[in-house]
Amino acid sequence: MTTEELELWLEFERLEGPLGPERDDLHSVQTSATVANMFRRQGSPTINPVDFVPDWSGERKEARTNRNIEAWMNFGKRMTEEGNRG
């Protein structure tokens, strides 16, 4: 492959989105989010496809951890409220 051809492919990828395995990840993300939203509890927030994108760098780990803590605290609060009603 010549340098010119490589530059053309890089420009194509910049315009059309990732090629190869990265695009496969995006297809899997769309499918995963669709299935998760089909089975989510009524009234719960819609799951965003971005939530399924692999975080290879670990940049979203802290945000995800905080979101998980918040979700568990809300779960505990709901369980306590339901226990007080019964």
Structure pTM? Answer: 0.47
Indicate if 42 and 83 belong to the same structural domain.
Answer: no
CB environment 39-53: b (16+ within 10 A), e (fewer): eeeeeeeebebeebe
Please indicate, yes or no, whether residues 13 and 47 belong to a single structural domain of this protein. Answer: yes
Q: Do residues 41 and 82 share a domain?
A: no
* Same domain assignment for residues 19 and 46: yes
pLDDT of residue 35: 92
In terms of residue numbers, what domain contains 65? 55-86
Same-domain pairing of 15 and 29: yes
Distances (CA, A) of 80 to 43, 72, 77: 20, 12, 5
pLDDT given at position 66: 66
Q: Is the dihedral of CA 58, 60, 62, 66 positive or negative?
A: negative
| One domain for residues 4 and 38 | yes
pLDDT number for residue 17: 75
Stretches where the chain sits below pLDDT 50 are: none
Q: What is the pLDDT of residue 85?
A: 65
Q: How many Å apart are CA 17 and CA 9, to the nearest integer?
A: 11
* 60 and 35 share one domain: no
